[in-house]
Amino acid sequence: MNSEITETEIPVGSPSDYIDPVGLASDDPLLLPPGDSSSDVKQQLNQAGESVSKFLAGLPEYLSDFFSEYRRPLITLGLLFGGILAVKMTLALLDAVDDIPLLAPVLQLIGLGYSAWFIYRYLLKASTRQELGQELGELKDQIVGSLPK
């Protein structure tokens, strides 16, 4: 083991001695006085404004062409999103109704009562089953329409 401790030399100097000077370009817009380039900036802003106004002037025509060309897919997407929204709202409403105490059992009893009445009224006797069949046939003809024979 070497018992001798060596000290390293630390150079002494000001911080500016160690910083490399950065070459600053004289045409840098951030370093120019504001009076020199204001006309360039105004010209660029005018050009940008003109291009935006041209785009906005042609926008209604572009949108009408787009909607006339893609009318069916847009209607399909709208109906799809509307259907999804309707299902979500219906489920949220049913969930809210289900959270009301005693309302769900009361509605179940009403449903059981209506089912029992329907079975008694239309399904127990043959004559009432035929009546139900005739009513359903008439309803089908009203919806679909009767075909000529």
Q: pLDDT tens across 26-38, in order?
A: 555 555 555 556 7
Helix axes 103-118, 71-98, angle to 10 degrees: 110
Phi, psi (deg, nearest 5) at residue 95 = -65, -40
**pLDDT per residue as tens digits for the range 62-106:** 999 999 999 999 999 999 999 999 999 999 998 998 889 999 889
Cα end-to-end span (Å), the chain: 118
Spatial separation of the C-alpha atoms in residues 6 and 12, rounded to whole Å: 18
Q: What is the pTM of this model?
A: 0.41
Q: Across all residues in the chain, what is the average pLDDT? A: 83
**CB of 128 closer than 8 Å to CB of 122:** yes
Q: Which amino acid is at 70?
A: Y
